[in-house]
Amino acid sequence: MFLTLTTTHRPATDLGFLLHKHPDRVQQFAQSTGTATVFYPEASEERCTAALLLEIDAVRLARSAGRGVPDFSLAQYVNDRSYAASSLLGVALADVFSTARSGRCRSRQELADSAIPLQLELPVLPCRGGPGVAHRIFEPLGWQVEATSIPLDRRFDGWGESRYVRLSLSGTLRLADALNQLYVLLPVLDEAKHYWQGPDEVEKLLRSGAGWLAGHPERAMITRRYLGRHDALTRVALSRLAELDGDHEESVDPVGEEEVAQPAERRQPLNEQRHDALLAALRRIGPDSVIDLGCGSGQFLARLIKEPGLTKITGMDVSIRSLQAAARRLRLDPLNERQAARIDLFQGSLTYEDARLSGYSAAVLMEVIEHLDPSRLGALERVVFAAARPAAVLVSTPNAEYNANYEGLSGMRHPDHRFEWSRADLAAWAQRVAGEHGYSVELTGIGEEDPEHGTPTQLAVFHRG
């Protein structure tokens, strides 16, 4: 099985730096199921192609899959695994290009952070649901998709199409995003995933899906297929993805009959409940200006701009990519002066004092503090409560106790969280901060309440004076 990756970025041979594989060399990597080879059929200034070839050892594969499950059929040895780009290719790709997948590149970091022209070719790909599914999955990610069915046998027209397609993707993307997408989506398209699904599969999915899966209109289908038939893991993953982005209606996949059934009643996603709760808390306070600190892609800002009483609304984040997404979401038009006077976005950090944070009647920190190293929290306290000093500060953060209700969740809810607090932890922090800076504080919960573990999200509302 075979995958090629081409760029026309100049100089194209920089692809070698991004992939951490030298264009002049042929390199082999032993895999549990066979051997992966990386080589460059073409490497010039204008155009550079890296190829990943995975040769499957059918005997080793049968042995690695057979643990405890005797299978005496010939199909263990005679199957498509050696020829079709399946989940096994995804696993090999993750192993061979692990540094590239993390987005790190010591010698070309700026390039690793940039979208570059890319073309991916997969000559034979099992595609559950046919070419239409490949379009639905890859197009929303910015790829131009060409998916052609492969006939079962060229000599016998009447036999019709096989279940394989030739897939060609072109687009301008970050290489790390492209590799992570393939890693997740190859098994999603494949008929069969060959390894056992442990709870850490959810972590892997969320980590590899960072930045593209939560906002994908087909995230429900992708998640269900990626996690196989494991209902409980699928529910955990979907609720965590909904926390990251509740904007998109989840689609029901009409293709696979074996998809996991949806829970009977569809609950309101937690992040919508959070937006409602913070908006209600703000309305009770009645500020005329609000700054959303760590605004992310601007989902809450989109709610705030509909509040007629607000004359100034600002979003701040440390991430330029998030701010760009926010500007798109809010359809900010630099030529619209009235809009520009009311809405503002800027890049900054919560851990450095900044005059631009002053002058607001309320500040929102929604699901932000847990993204900071605990050692930087003192800096945030000084920046927000000592320097900026808005009349009200709203802080929401996960309630770690509630994690017990997410079956299959072993660590924290999101790979980027540095800590998650119990209700007592937040109360202790909030009371100390309020006391030190002349605020009072009220603590409440957001989301469905569990009698023992409380609500999934907790909220602290600080009032000055």
**Cα–Cα distance measured from residue 296 to residue 186, given in angstroms and rounded to the nearest whole number:** 29
User: What is the nearest approach in angstroms of ligand SAH to the Cβ of residue 294?
Assistant: 3
CB atoms within 10 A of CB 428: 12
**Cα–Cα distance measured from residue 395 to residue 446, given in angstroms and rounded to the nearest whole number:** 12
User: What is the nearest approach in angstroms of ligand SAH to the Cβ of residue 93?
Assistant: 28
Question: By CB under 6 A, is residue 299 in contact with ligand SAH?
Answer: yes
90 CB-contact burial (10 Å; exposed 0-12 / middle 13-18 / buried 19+): buried
- Full DSSP string of 96-133: HTHHHHHT--SS-HHHHTSEEEEEEEEEEEE-TT-HHH
51 CB-contact burial (10 Å; exposed 0-12 / middle 13-18 / buried 19+): middle
- Residues 388, 343: contact at Cβ < 8 Å? no
**Cα–Cα distance measured from residue 432 to residue 440, given in angstroms and rounded to the nearest whole number:** 10
Strand partners, 28: 37
Task: For ligand SAH, give the closer residue by CB, 379 or 391.
Answer: 379
Question: By CB under 6 A, is residue 303 in contact with ligand SAH?
Answer: no
Question: By CB under 6 A, is residue 422 in contact with ligand SAH?
Answer: no
Stretch that binds ligand SAH, among 1-9, 250-258, 295-303, 331-339 (CB under 6 A): 295-303
Task: For ligand SAH, give the closer residue by CB, 84 or 323.
Answer: 323
> Taking CA 399 as the corner, what is the angle to CA 365 and CA 197, rounded to the nearest 5 degrees?
110
Question: By CB under 6 A, is residue 457 in contact with ligand SAH?
Answer: no
Stretch that binds ligand SAH, among 80-88, 361-369, 441-449, 454-462 (CB under 6 A): 361-369
Of the candidate residues 141, 185, 220, 368, the single one contacting ligand SAH (CB under 6 A): 368
Task: For ligand SAH, give the closer residue by CB, 17 or 429.
Answer: 429
**Cα–Cα distance measured from residue 138 to residue 144, given in angstroms and rounded to the nearest whole number:** 8
Strands 312-317 and 289-293, sheet pairing:
parallel
Question: By CB under 6 A, is residue 456 in contact with ligand SAH?
Answer: no
Please report where in the chains the tokens 């192609």 appear, as a residue. 49
Question: By CB under 6 A, is residue 351 in contact with ligand SAH?
Answer: yes
- Residues 456, 446: contact at Cβ < 8 Å? yes
User: What is the nearest approach in angstroms of ligand SAH to the Cβ of residue 351?
Assistant: 5
**Cα–Cα distance measured from residue 26 to residue 30, given in angstroms and rounded to the nearest whole number:** 14
Question: By CB under 6 A, is residue 317 in contact with ligand SAH?
Answer: yes
Task: For ligand SAH, give the closer residue by CB, 211 or 256.
Answer: 211
Find the helix or strand (DSSP H, E) in which 38 lies. Answer: strand 34-43
- Residues 462, 438: contact at Cβ < 8 Å? no
Task: For ligand SAH, give the closer residue by CB, 163 or 248.
Answer: 248
Question: By CB under 6 A, is residue 372 in contact with ligand SAH?
Answer: yes
Stretch that binds ligand SAH, among 48-56, 58-66, 184-192, 316-324 (CB under 6 A): 316-324
Task: For ligand SAH, give the closer residue by CB, 33 or 351.
Answer: 351
User: What is the nearest approach in angstroms of ligand SAH to the Cβ of residue 295?
Assistant: 6
Binding mask 244-283 toward ligand SAH (x if CB under 6 A, else -) reads ----------------------------------------
Of the candidate residues 319, 339, 422, 431, the single one contacting ligand SAH (CB under 6 A): 319
Find the helix or strand (DSSP H, E) in which 301 lies. Answer: helix 299-304
Task: For ligand SAH, give the closer residue by CB, 96 or 323.
Answer: 323
Task: For ligand SAH, give the closer residue by CB, 350 or 434.
Answer: 350
Largest CA distance in the chain: 84
What residues from 172 to 231 belong to the interface with ligand SAH (CB under 6 A)? Answer: none
Question: By CB under 6 A, is residue 323 in contact with ligand SAH?
Answer: no
Of the candidate residues 92, 124, 313, 366, the single one contacting ligand SAH (CB under 6 A): 366
Question: By CB under 6 A, is residue 294 in contact with ligand SAH?
Answer: yes
Residues forming the site for ligand SAH (CB under 6 A) = 294-296, 299, 317-319, 322, 349-351, 366-368, 371-372
